Chain A
Amino acid sequence: MFQVLCIFIPLLAALFMPFFFKKVSTIHTGWFVLVVPIFLVSYYALFIPTVSKGDSVIAQLDWIPSLGISFVSYLDGLSLLFSLLISGIGALVVLYSIFYLDRTKEQLHNFYIYLLMFMCAMLGVVQSDNMMTLYLFWELTSISSFLLIGYWNNRDKSRFGALKSMMITVAGGMMMLGGFVLLSIMGDTFSIRELISQAPELSTNDLFVVALVLILLGAFTKSAQFPFYIWLPDAMEAPTPVSAYLHSATMVKAGLYLVARFTPIFAVSEIWIWLVTGIGLLTLFWGSFFALKQRDLKGILAFSTVSQLGLIMSLLGVGAIAFHVDGAQETIFKYAAFAAIFHLINHATFKGSLFMIAGIVDHETGTRDIRKLGGLMSIMPVSFTVALIGSFSMAGLPPFNGFLSKEMFLTAVLSITEFDLFNFSTWGVLFPIIAWIASVFTFIYSFYFVFHTFTGKGKIDQLPHKPHEAPMGMLVSPVILAGLVVALFFIPNMIADTFIKPAVMAVQPFLYSSPDQIDIHVAAWHGHITTELKMTAGIIVLGLALFLTLSRWQKIYSLFPSKLTLNNLYDFIIYDLFDRWAGRLSGLYMTGSIRRYLSYMLGSISIIVIATLFMQDAFRMNFDGASPIRIYQVILIIVLVIGTITTVFAKSRITSIVALGLVGYTVSLFFIMFNAPDLALTQLVIETISVALFLLAFYHLPKLKKEKERTQFRFGRAFVSIAVGAMVTLVALSAHSQKLIPSISEYYKETVYSLAGGGNIVNVILVDYRGFDTLFEIAVLSIAGIAIFGMIKLRLSKKGEKL
């Protein structure tokens, strides 16, 4: 119970932030926020001993039991690792933001409410076992990301980036919801764990592949995979703490989480392996290649994040191969899932620190344009060191954690060539080649990022601000993360036993029964020169050569046609297709004229009702038992028709009001004819008052004008009225001609005296049986009376201005 509530703690804390911001003006609001992630880290740390043994903890809070929707907090290796990352990086980011965002200039309460909302959503995503609540939290991350990217909402680019990210991720989320629904239909449950236990049966279902593709679309849009990555570079308009938190360490990894979580269900499919591995590698290459085109420090990091996410994605794909190999515990494919989780942790550490450094550089120099930067090394030594550690780790150099996971990644892609199912033995050769080329570019952009910012000829005097080292508080978070980057290199196996192996258990649950069985030992040096080490050496040599000649070949990026980009495709879809064309289309019928809308509605009602009558074969004509027509009835009908026609075509208002009165009195005569004396009495009284009221009110209204109408609309109007008239006649005839169920009036007739002690059945129904109806009827009348009084007496216009 408390475990479930913990997901909502950030949201609850968010309620108090406006108070802290408004009332406690001397202390930065961030300090209050900081309590939340620190509490959560310590709370989730309590689960480490249990979960690292391979056990899981589950707690449930029912939400809509009748639909099987409940909040389930399911902590196993994978979700605990993510929860710790979310709250841990969250704490560092909040600490960093305290120094990054100025208390006096920014709307801090908004910022921290969005951030806490995101934290809640993200914890919900990784802990939910119920797919419906998973989807709920998933969309909440999109919404909070939208709000955070658009935090500086007076900037055009922020709003554009926010909208773009939301459009793409929410569209993907919708697809994912479709996949979830299909899965729940197949497995008859919303619980992911139960679905995993039925995995073999699910794969034979026809809808299996559809669900697979839909869920992958959700994951790919969220994790910025090709071709959906285009939202991530534009999301860099967010304040840097947000970029570090959402767009590198946590939210973009939700897609990876989803893929990892659903691997046990979908890994049996070859489409899954091809898509996840292939798209992952393509994204890895694409992102690393175009990172070098960027001039903005955060732009480089954005593309590098895209590329690194692709790397982890492809590893998860290779990890799924383990489901197809006999004795998988023995093979090298088990490395892939391990490496994926390992690199996920490493990426969070080094990319988080690099983003914070980019933010510091921006903060202290006033620009993020790498062409204007340079030579900051001597001025900002601490930042430089952190950036160096982060970049070297990203490039895959020892002694940093990125080296270890990069080596394992190379092992995994090399092993694909040995897999002989699904054509991998032929096409699979391409995979290590792509991976190697992408790694070369990764190496180059890592160096590009750090050395073009901190070394070289500085134009320091031309920078917007005079640069100096950032304040201590701002450096704390990146320094901690950089420290982790180094530490993880030296103690990888401790991390592996505590976090990675339990998480691998969640990804490959059929292969192992406890984390101890995962026989992987991470080592920087394997005792001999391996193929991977040779590949790394090649990356370094070629990477260095290309980096030193960067200025000469960077021009090739301008060769790419600027019109044929994915961004232009997005702009075309959103602004041309949706905004302009769809706007024009709806402008054709959304004219703003109420009369036109009314005729649409009435016309559609008539068409629907008449069509249903005939399609369901409900129309009957049955003259049996109809009462005879008498001569005075015919006369009355003629009077009624004449009165009605007069109201429609009358030229003066008095004529039409009197004609309306005529119709009303005729109706009351009909009531007499049909044995309804109470109705006739009421109708007579009301009609008299109505006519008097009409005459009174219309004394003030203008004369009726001959209506000038376009003939087109006049015909439409006549057509709609005829359709409605026809509908009513048909319904009345059918209702009269078939009595499917006996009238409940018999009950009233029998009990009116014994139960209510009255003789006039209509009156008794009104005051006894349906007393509440009458009560509310009186209420309606009094509301109308009050409103009429108000409209006549009250004047909302300005003082002194008499109407």
Chain B
Amino acid sequence: MEIVMAFVCGFLFMAAIYLILSRSLLRIIIGTGLLSHGAHLLILTMGSFKGSAPPVLSDGVTDFVDPLPQALILTAIVISFGVTAFILVLAYRAYHELKTDDMTLMKGSEDNE
């Protein structure tokens, strides 16, 4: 399963980067969303899925999964939400001010790369 998940993470990253490199703000933001999903799964995969019980102490259970990646991911989920919310509103505001959501037009130069 770990091997398959490694490819799934790579796939998520690939799609995310493809979106981030596009011109439309909406696609870029969706790309960052995908990127954080990929990163979370990557951390979890690298920590391995050993263990059969969730990391909560209860009687008679010793075979926990590794709690540390989960703690890191929990922090990351919240932070990525904050960042996503921020750039969403940034995009909203930028569109209001500049009347475009095209990155190359926002640059303000005539050079339409």
Contact = CB atoms under 8 A, between A and B. Distances in A.
Interface stretch (A97-105, A463-471, A655-663): A655-663
B64 A749 contact: yes
Given A722-B14, A773-B75, A595 B23 contact: yes
Given A690-B84, A698-B26, A678 B70 contact: yes
Interface string B23-61: 111110110011001101110111111111111111000
A792 B89 contact: yes
Contact of A733 (B6, B15, B21): B6
A405 interface: no
A697 B86 CA distance: 11
Given A724-B13, A732-B42, A762 B70 contact: yes
Interface string A753-793: 10000111110011000100110010011001101100110
B10 A725 contact: yes
Contacts of A725: 10-11, 13-14, 17
Interface string A168-193: 00000000000000000000000000
A594 B102 CA distance: 12
A660 B33 contact: yes
A675 B34 contact: no
Size category, B interface: 35 or more
B10 A593 contact: no
A387 B75 CA distance: 79
A527 interface: no
A633 B1 contact: yes
B86 A784 contact: yes
A791 B93 contact: yes
A705 interface: yes
Contact of A762 (B19, B33, B74): B74
A592 B21 contact: no
Contacts of A803: 96-97
A670 interface: yes
A653 B42 CA distance: 27
Contacts of B46: 732, 735-736
A647 interface: yes
A726 interface: yes
Contacts of A713: 113
Identify which of B1, B14, B96 gathers the most chain A CB atoms within 10 Å of its CB: B14
A752 interface: yes
Nearest to B82: A784
Given A640-B8, A663-B37, A645 B24 contact: no
A766 B37 contact: no
Contact of B78 (A686, A720, A729, A765): A686
Given A644-B11, A749-B67, A765-B67, A697 B92 contact: yes
A780 B49 contact: no
Contact of A592 (B75, B85, B93, B109): B109
A679 B36 CA distance: 14
Contacts of B96: 700, 803
B61 to A, nearest CB: 11
A784 B85 contact: yes
Nearest to B93: A791
Contact of B79 (A748, A758, A765, A777): A777
Contact of B33 (A628, A629, A690): A690
A270 B18 CA distance: 64
Given A663-B37, A721-B15, A675 B23 contact: no
A332 B9 CA distance: 82
Given A648-B15, A765-B71, A663 B34 contact: yes
B23 A660 contact: no
Nearest to B35: A724
A701 interface: yes
A777 to B, nearest CB: 5
A626 interface: yes
A693 B85 contact: yes
Contacts of A678: 70, 74
Interface string B63-107: 011111011011101110111111011111101110001011001
Contacts of A154: none
A314 to B, nearest CB: 57
Interface stretch (A408-416, A516-524, A596-604): A596-604
A26 interface: no
Contacts of A759: 56-58
B interface SS class: helix
Size category, A interface: 35 or more
A697 B7 contact: no
A25 B105 CA distance: 52
Contacts of B103: 594-595
Contacts of B104: 593, 595
A717 interface: yes
A713 B23 CA distance: 12
Given A598-B21, A759-B56, A781-B78, A592 B14 contact: no
Given A656-B26, A705-B24, A676 B82 contact: no
Contacts of A660: 30, 33-34
A56 B7 CA distance: 72
Interface string A698-736: 101110110101000100011011101111110011011
A627 B50 CA distance: 7
Nearest to B22: A707
Interface string A632-676: 010001001100110110000100110010011001001100111
B4 A629 contact: yes
A694 interface: yes
A788 B86 contact: yes
A625 interface: yes
B84 to A, nearest CB: 6
Contacts of A679: 40, 70, 73-74, 77
B66 A599 contact: no
A689 interface: yes
A762 B71 contact: yes
Contacts of B81: 686, 689-690
A485 to B, nearest CB: 63
B45 A732 contact: yes
A732 B10 contact: yes
Nearest to B100: A702
A704 B27 contact: yes
A797 B53 CA distance: 57
A743 interface: yes
Contacts of B88: 693-694, 697
A683 interface: yes
B64 A599 contact: no
Given A647-B34, A664-B37, A732 B6 contact: yes
Contact of B90 (A670, A705, A736, A791): A791
Nearest to A594: B103
A739 to B, nearest CB: 8
A709 B78 CA distance: 35
Interface string A148-175: 0000000000000000000000000000
Contact of B52 (A667, A675, A701): A675
The 8 closest A-B pairs by CB, nearest first: A725-B14, A729-B10, A732-B6, A761-B67, A721-B18, A759-B57, A721-B17, A784-B82
Interface of B: 1-27, 29-30, 33-34, 37-38, 40-42, 44-58, 64-68, 70-71, 73-75, 77-79, 81-86, 88-93, 95-97, 101, 103-104, 107, 109, 111, 113
17 contacts: A592-B113, A644-B11, A648-B18, A656-B26, A693-B88, A701-B25, A705-B24, A707-B23, A721-B18, A725-B13, A725-B17, A728-B10, A732-B9, A732-B45, A743-B66, A761-B64, A784-B83
Given A701-B92, A717-B21, 16 more contacts: A625-B48, A625-B50, A653-B26, A670-B41, A675-B54, A678-B70, A725-B11, A725-B17, A726-B10, A728-B9, A728-B38, A736-B3, A736-B46, A749-B64, A760-B55, A784-B86
